[in-house]
Amino acid sequence: MSSRLPLSTVLSFFTESQRIGIQVHVLQFENFLTMLQYRKTYEVTLHSVKRGMKVLDWGCGNGHFSYFLTRQNIDTTGFSFNTNPIFLEHEPLFHFTQGDPDESTALPFADSTFDIVFSIGVLEHVYETGGSEERSLQEIRRVLKSGGRFLCFHLPNKYQWIEPLGKFLGLTEHFHDRKYTHRNIQQLTQQAGFQVEEIGRYNFFPRNQLRFLPIWFKQNTLVIHSFEFMEWLFSRLLPWFCTNYYFIAQVKK
């Protein structure tokens, strides 16, 4: 399991991102506390990617994670039904392919193209465009090289506490229809020809809602450090109720 990424490392990336104006295009980067929802994603990624690898950001959306990968000097292909993220248009390490929603499952790449495929909050939404988790995983397996890995993040945990409470209190309008368990993840990946190497839960406290807090509060250094300490503590004491799952699955040889 990867070690915890220092807060200073994430802050350095956040500061660099702010300089290019990424927050205009990526709501999650509006403030540091909200952006820290990806701390675990960055930790695991940095232990998995190496220069020279070919990487696919499957469903890259607004491009925030592809931008992170290119900052690590990783050759990155972004695939999305959306248009090319504007702040990545002139990035030499980023190659964009726009998908067709009518071909929601099929990927326009040859067999065994990539070393790693990433999903950042995508797998649970494929049914919305007529796809399925099973068919998507089979297609991801096809475009991965032998021994390649699928890294999936922000997969909603069935037993999380945030969405049920938010729905009861009327504090959020966004809810996931598909949520997952450890067993679900094992079954889905095995059926598609993967072997799970690592699985975990993270993000105990809500993040996106922090955008609506006063700026003096969400940018306060003491608040940030206190929040992250509480996140670390509760994620270890009550991991069953964290918001998200992540997992690493390798193509069976």
Decide if 116 contacts 151 (C-beta within 8 A): yes
Question: In this predicted structure, what is the pLDDT of residue 173?
Answer: 62
- Report if residue 2 sits inside a domain: no
| Domain annotation covers residue 203 | yes
13 in helix, strand or coil?
helix
Start-to-end C-alpha separation, the chain:
22
215-to-20, 39, 205, 230 alpha-carbon distances in Å: 20, 21, 19, 20
Tokens (6 digits) for 226: 């206190």
pTM to 2 decimals? 0.93
On whether residue 206 sits in a domain, the answer given is: yes
Structural domain total, the chain: 1
- What pLDDT does 175 receive? 79
Q: Is the residue at 46 inside a domain?
A: yes
The C-alpha atoms of residue 5 and residue 21 are separated, in whole angstroms, by: 24
Pairing of strands 75-80, 144-156: unpaired
Question: What confidence tens digit (pLDDT) does each residue in 99-122 have?
Answer: 877 666 689 999 999 999 999 999
CA 117 to chain centre: 11
Q: What is the CATH number of the domain that holds 232?
A: 3.40.50.150
- Asked whether residue 1 is assigned to any structural domain, the reply reads no
User: Has residue 24 been placed in a domain?
Assistant: yes
Query: pLDDT means per 10 residues in the chain (253 residues)?
Result: 83 94 92 95 96 96 96 96 91 93 80 97 90 93 96 97 84 80 96 96 91 86 95 97 98 84
Looking at residue 104, its pLDDT comes to 61
* Structural domain contains residue 211: yes
Is position 87 within any domain? Answer: yes
Domain coverage including residue 82: 7-251
Give pLDDT, residue 63. Answer: 96
pLDDT in tens, 151-189: 999 999 999 999 888 888 777 667 788 999 999 999 999
pLDDT at 2: 54
Q: Which residues pair with 56 in a beta bridge?
A: 77, 117
